[in-house]
Amino acid sequence: MTTLVLILGDQLSLNISSLEGRDKNRTVILMVEVHEESVYVKHHKAKLVYILSAMRHHAELLRSEGWLVDYVTLDDPENAGSFTGELARAIERHAPKQICVTEAGEWRVKAMLDSWHDRFVVPVTINPDNRFLATHAEFEAWAEGRKQLRMEYFYRSMRCKSGLLMDGNDPAGGQWNYDAENRKPANRDTAIPRPLHFTPDPITRDVMQLVTAHFSDHIGSMDSFGFAVTRADALKQQTHFLDHVLARFGDYQDAMLTDEPFLWHSILSPYINSGLLDPVELCKEVEQRYRDGNIPLNAAEGFVRQIIGWREYVRGIYWLAGPDYVRRNELGATRPLPSFYWTGQTDMHCMSQAIGQTLEYAYAHHIQRLMITGNFALLIGVEPQEVHQWYLAVYADAYEWVELPNTLGMSQFSDGGMLASKPYAASGAYISRMSDYCRSCRYDVKSKTGPDACPFNSLYWDFIARNEAKLRGNPRMALTYKNWERMSATDKSALQRQATKFLETLG
């Protein structure tokens, strides 16, 4: 009996659940590049190159492991352009007795997979994704009856379940969270590591030509492309991070420096989210480095929290909230996304740095996303759907299940506090404290009004005033509103006039 197994582009793991227990002699693996998935948002060219090249290399790995792989390229003249159309064609080619697929990571694709039960006469089995610690049912059980779904408490449950950084029933070092130690600004006197760069091989170069031919109007550049596109190379990047970067990841994970896009970050999220790396295996490696005395606890805990805490948590929120989550807009934001998000051409140095490296590398680290581009969009009141679609398009690690809660929930507070306990809004003072961006900016971060004043300063207080009715009751905003009350009417008016004048320049 032949089984047809569909492997999606973010399921590039040899131990994916759809292959568990399969007889290689009775299984055909189907992998397809479809136009529909490439254009539902205009993905960054480098993101498309990464995903398509990683898929093609994974197909070769599967073949080397003895699997029969039916691979359909995007430029195949018979390509139907969608998963459903390609599955229908594969059924005609192989006449399988059953179809198997691992569950989708996004609501949009889940609806498609669910429709196959009625569309095709061949039975369809959808297996749970075994690459996460928490099942959907476990997250729902954890969330049941809670007034607030705070990541910290979910994270602790994942530490206990996994045993990572645990000494018996207690957290290693006696604390669950060392985030307070992980907020140091960096300086150029410190030796800054560099991630490995992987020169495109013939398969990747073919994909680059395909992307140039079919998606020339998409955002971003391929000139600096250096992602690993095989598990072997992804493991090399993982080892490089563990050996040369991780020890200072904790200290500097919130730091930003001009023309330094990577700093002490792992650059592993694209590989984890597409399946080339196993997140739990990675966390075990991190723990071992700590146990061996090679890295401090704040680095190990900070990294593990990002993976089994935050990553698992946002996935749980995504599926718990449902497909309507994407339409939430608690603060009623309606402004269009400024055009410089697509060009990086702005006098605000911090924004030009974060956006510029995004256009070049399809990468920016989490503080640049949250406290620079996300913070600015929040302050000026950009419509959340536009912010969401931008983040989904421009980053190589962005899949909706992980990107949407981070954007709508944490960055834009559009879910009204389901995910974040307060809006992540900040003035220029935060950016100055955590970076050297302000030193090279034409605006003065210490000025709140006037032609040279940092826009973030007046925009911050305008945001506070504009959303007072919805935010004043938030306990974590109490001090902010007390400071607003202490200001004179003249100062308040000047700040709001300054913000209005700047917003007018955005068109």
Q: Report pLDDT digits (tens) over 482-500.
A: 999 999 999 999 999 999 9
Residue 174: exposed, middle, or buried by beta-carbon count in 10 A (0-12, 13-18, 19+)?
exposed
Non-local (6+) Cβ contacts of 309 within 8 A are: 151, 152, 154, 155, 158
Strand 170-171 to 166-167 pairing? antiparallel
Question: Of 95, 115, 91, nearest to 104 (Cα)?
Answer: 115
Coil, strand or helix: which one is 98? strand
Return d(Cα 26, Cα 96) in angstroms, integer: 9
> How is residue 201 written in tokens?
């091989």
**Low-confidence residues in the chain, pLDDT < 50:** none
Return d(Cα 45, Cα 195) in angstroms, integer: 21
Question: Sign of the C-alpha dihedral, residues 381, 382, 388, 392?
Answer: negative
Question: Sign of the C-alpha dihedral, residues 197, 202, 207, 209?
Answer: positive
| CATH class name, domain 339-505 | mainly alpha
Question: Of 387, 254, 397, nearest to 328 (Cα)?
Answer: 387
Residue 6 and residue 87 in contact, taking contact as beta carbons nearer than 8 Å: yes
**pLDDT of amino acid 1:** 67
**pLDDT of amino acid 190:** 74
Let me know if the fold of 3-127 is the same as that of 136-195+245-321.
Answer: no
**pLDDT of amino acid 106:** 97
**pLDDT of amino acid 300:** 96
DSSP-derived secondary structure letter, 174: G
Q: Report pLDDT digits (tens) over 293-340.
A: 999 999 999 999 999 999 999 999 999 999 999 999 999 999 999 999
Helix 136-143 and helix 151-162, axial crossing angle in degrees, nearest 10: 130
Q: Report pLDDT digits (tens) over 457-481.
A: 999 999 999 999 999 999 999 999 9
Return d(Cα 82, Cα 91) in angstroms, integer: 14
Q: What are phi and psi for residue 256, nearest 5 degrees?
A: -140, 140
> How is residue 438 written in tokens?
């302000």
Q: Report pLDDT digits (tens) over 212-242.
A: 999 999 999 999 999 999 999 999 999 999 9
**pLDDT of amino acid 187:** 82
Q: What are phi and psi for residue 69, nearest 5 degrees?
A: -115, 125
The whole model's pTM is what? Answer: 0.96
Question: What residues pair up with 68 in beta bridges, in sequence order?
Answer: 28
Coil, strand or helix: which one is 95? coil
Return d(Cα 284, Cα 300) in angstroms, integer: 10
**pLDDT of amino acid 507:** 72
Non-local (6+) Cβ contacts of 30 within 8 A are: 4, 5, 6, 7, 69, 70, 72, 86, 87, 90
Residue entry with tokens 């061996």: 292
**pLDDT of amino acid 181:** 75
* Domain ranges across the chain: 3-127, 136-195+245-321, 339-505
DSSP-derived secondary structure letter, 374: I
> How is residue 265 written in tokens?
């970050």
Topology of the domain comprising 3-127: Rossmann fold (3.40.50)
* Percent with pLDDT over 90 in the chain: 96
CATH architecture of 136-195+245-321: Alpha Horseshoe (1.25)
DSSP-derived secondary structure letter, 182: S
